[in-house]
Structures are given as structure tokens and as C-alpha cells.
Amino acid sequence: MRVYISADMEGVAGITIWEQVEAMGGEEYHRSRKLMTAEINAAIRGALEAGATGITVNDAHGRMHNILPEDLHPGAQLISGAPKKLGMMEGIEKGFAAACFIGYHARSGSGGVLAHTISDIVHSLEVNGREMGELGLNALLAGYFGVPVVLVSGDQFLADEAKNLLAGVEIIIVKEALNYHAARSLPPRLAREKIRQGLIKALNKRSFHPLAAPAPATVTIKFNDPARAAAAAILPRSQRRDAVTVIYTGADFLEAYQAIRCLVALAKNS
């Protein structure tokens, strides 16, 4: 049984402000790298205890070089750095029995800690008319490759997204969001133990099904600025619906997923 771990940072216990998740944050950021790596290690231990024969961890935050390789559990291989063709889900196409999302945050417009969708320039994002955050997008991509998401960890707003999208998924709430920059967190050691136990439970169910990825897949991105939308609409086959909204239809979800990344990259560079 091969297990895939996509690891973000904003949803880790104890993290509430941007300085903790950006390299310019100095010591705060370095401490957060340790917290992030420790939660991933808890997931690795749980996967191994549940019988995993191979584990791949993909660093899915920011520039994707946050996980401390020297501290990572030796039972897993690490994918880090950017750019990567599949970004937060690099390597998922290699074939896995299950995926889990550690340290994930809620989508933009929710009440979650540091909530956003891909970038703070994105007001909202929909796939075939359904609003999605990073959890939803990445779960759909996993589903495209036939991989079910069995566990997610983060705050209660991330948990709500998971409940509405992933039937039967194991959800570990490691902190309660009080507002965008505040949360009541579990002690890190307790959060890690819950992740370890949760993944053992999830993998022992062996009854999960991949999330069905739509084909065709129409992506609708509403940006927070007309200039951003204008730049994104440079992408061939994209359409500008109004001053701040760009639409793209892919033949399948893989095409749509990669188009999302291109649209946001163009908009950020405007």
C-alpha cells in the first residue's frame, strides 16, 4: 500500500499569522517549519503502522521548500522545490492507494485561519459551478488519477469543506479558528498524536473511493482586481466574463487544474 501526503503549512497547529509561514518571517518561520515537519512525521508513522509499503511527501506550501529534510522520518521520500508540473499534488500520478492532506487551510471567504485559495489575489474559484478551495481542487486531481483522499487536517472551516466534499474522510481538527489571524490550537504533541491515530484509522477502513473528477471541467475565477483578470485572460482559450472574472474550460480536470495555475500566475505578474 503506497500512501501520498500533500503538506501545506497554514493549517498546522500553532500557526496563525503570515510571518510564521513566509521565509521573511525569520525565526518565526523556522519554528513553523519544525511544527510542519513534525505533523508530517506523525502522518508517516501512522501510515507505516497501518501497513504502508511506500510513502511520498510533497511539500505543497509557497515555494515548496519548507519541510526540513534532515528531520523528516526516514520512512518517506520527499518532493520539494518549484515549479512542479502538478504543484501541490506533484507525484500523485505515480499510483497510490490513498492520499492525505496535512496542514491545509480553508478557502477564501471562509472564516478560517489565513484562509485563501491559491493566492490572496483570488476572491473565489468555482469548478462546474461549485466553489472550491485548495482542498477541493487537489482532491479532484487525486480523483482524476484514481486516488482517494482519506484524511485531512486543519481548522474547523477546512473540516466543513471536507465534510461537504469527501464522504467518510477522516478529519483531524488541530485548531479552532477565531478569526483570520487567531486560533485556539491543540498542543502540538496532541495534534500530532491525533494525526497519527487518525491515519491508522483511515487506512484500516480500506473503503474509500476517489472523488469523481469532472470532464469537461469549467473553471471560473473571480479576482480581486480588474487588472488581475485582464492579465489572466491572456491565456489562450480563456474568456473574460466581466471585469474581474475569467472562465476556462478544459477537456478534463487535469487540463483545468493546470490552467488554474497558469491563470493565477499570469494574474500575479500583472
* pLDDT of 208: 86
Q: Both 59 and 178 in a single domain?
A: yes
Count of domains forming the chain: 2
Q: Collapsing DSSP states into helix, strand and coil, what is residue 103?
A: coil
- Give residue 246's domain range: 217-268
CATH of the domain at 66: 3.40.50.10780
Last residue of a domain, one of 173, 205, 237: 205
Please give the Cα distance from 199 to 222 (Å, whole number).
35
Among 2-11, 17-26, 141-150, 193-202, the least confident range: 17-26
The DSSP secondary structure of 37-102, one letter per residue, reads HHHHHHHHHHHHHTT-SEEEEEE-STTS--S-GGGS-TTSEEE--S--TTGGGTTGGG--SEEEEE
Last residue of a domain, one of 157, 173, 205: 205
Q: What is the DSSP letter of 228?
A: H
- Domain membership of residue 44 (yes or no) is yes
* pLDDT of 103: 99
Q: Both 195 and 70 in a single domain?
A: yes
Stretch 4-16: mean pLDDT: 99
Q: Both 177 and 226 in a single domain?
A: no
Q: Both 184 and 62 in a single domain?
A: yes
- Domain membership of residue 210 (yes or no) is no
Stretch 251-258: mean pLDDT: 98
Q: Annotated binding residue at 10?
A: yes
pLDDT beyond 90 at 131: yes
For residue 212, name the pLDDT band (cuts at 50, 70, 90): very high
Backbone angles phi, psi at 93, to 5 degrees: -75, -5
- Domain membership of residue 139 (yes or no) is yes
For residue 141, name the pLDDT band (cuts at 50, 70, 90): very high
Catalytic positions are 116
* pLDDT of 270: 76
Q: Both 192 and 223 in a single domain?
A: no
Please give the Cα distance from 7 to 104 (Å, whole number).
7
Express each pLDDT in 50-85 by its tens digit: 999 999 999 999 999 999 999 999 999 999 999 999
- Domain membership of residue 230 (yes or no) is yes
Q: Both 72 and 152 in a single domain?
A: yes
Q: What is the pTM of this model?
A: 0.97
Q: Both 90 and 63 in a single domain?
A: yes
CATH of the domain at 251: 3.30.1360.130
With a pLDDT cut of 90, the percent of the chain lying above it is: 97
Which residue, 87, 101, 40, is CA-closest to 68?
Answer: 40
- Domain membership of residue 182 (yes or no) is yes
Q: Both 128 and 99 in a single domain?
A: yes
Q: Both 153 and 228 in a single domain?
A: no
Q: Both 195 and 144 in a single domain?
A: yes
Are the C-beta atoms of residues 269 and 238 closer than 8 Å to each other? no
- Domain membership of residue 211 (yes or no) is no
* pLDDT of 240: 97
- Domain membership of residue 212 (yes or no) is no
Express each pLDDT in 80-118 by its tens digit: 999 999 999 999 999 999 999 999 999 999 999 999 999
Stretch 120-139: mean pLDDT: 98
Q: Both 147 and 100 in a single domain?
A: yes
